[in-house]
Amino acid sequence: MSDWLGLVITFVYIFAIIGAAEGLRRWRGYSSDFTRKVIHIAVGMLSWVLPWLFTSPWPFVAACGAFMLLNFLDWRYGLFAAMVSSDRSNLGTVYFPLAAALVALIFWDRPPLLVAAVMPLTWGDGLAPVVGRTYGRHTYSVANHTRSLEGSAAFLAAGFLFTWLALWAMSGQPALSPAAALLPALATVVAATLVEAVSIAGLDNLTVTAVAVVVLSLWPFDRS
């Protein structure tokens, strides 16, 4: 596939997700905090097809740069109601494409690690606040930011499941069996869960991804 076609597909997909989330918000009356996480998860899942959309990471990095600018303008002026955060100090939507671009540059030649590195952020961080707001009964605070043990447990469970799936189901190196993928997935997501618990103001989009990259980079995968 040509990189230009990959860019078109990427932009069409992301704007379609934003449009669908806005339709869901209006139809069902969901809060923008909920629909923002719907967008968050759907966009993160784009990582599974990046090796088929682009011949190198650079077109995707360019797309991430464009979305960083667009998301900053949205944060500043509220262009997309489905993406508005109730916390005006939260620049997470700007940090998300930055994190994705850096992961693509680091792990482009190792697709299972590329996808695995963004799954804790995609699913863990995507579900944690939703579960926390709905079921959170045991709360804790970090710098005036309140989280719940239930939300952190959701981060751990969802992040582990999808990180594990990425490590063994995604084609490329390292090629792992389901059993061999368990331990690195668990180590990655436990570290990411602990970091997410103390990250504030949307910085978890960077810190969670950073710790996932570090763990996966240092893990002694067989490179043969």
pLDDT in single tens digits along all 224 residues of the chain:
689 999 999 999 999 999 999 998 888 888 888 898 999 999 999 999 999 999 999 999 999 999 999 999 888 887 787 787 666 667 888 999 999 999 999 999 999 999 999 999 999 999 998 899 889 888 888 777 788 999 999 999 999 999 999 999 999 999 999 999 999 999 999 999 999 988 876 788 999 999 999 999 999 997 64
What is the structure's pLDDT at 223? 60
Please state the pTM of the whole predicted model: 0.92
Identify the domain containing residue 211 by its residue range.
3-218
Instruction: Give the angle subtended at the CA of 56 by the CAs of 54 and 58, to the nearest 5°.
Output: 100
The pLDDT of residue 16: 95
CA gap 125, 108 in Å, rounded: 23
User: H or E segment at 166?
Assistant: helix 149-169
Q: Which residues have CB under 8 Å from 105's CB, separation 6+?
A: 57, 61
By the 8 A CB rule, do 163 and 116 touch? yes
Residues near 15 by beta carbon (within 8 Å), at least 6 away in sequence? none
Is residue 223 a part of any domain in this protein?
Answer: no
In a domain, 42, yes or no: yes
pLDDT at 141: 81
pLDDT at 224: 46
In the chain, the number of structural domains is 1
Rounded to the nearest 5 percent, the helix, strand and coil shares of the chain are: 75, 5, 20
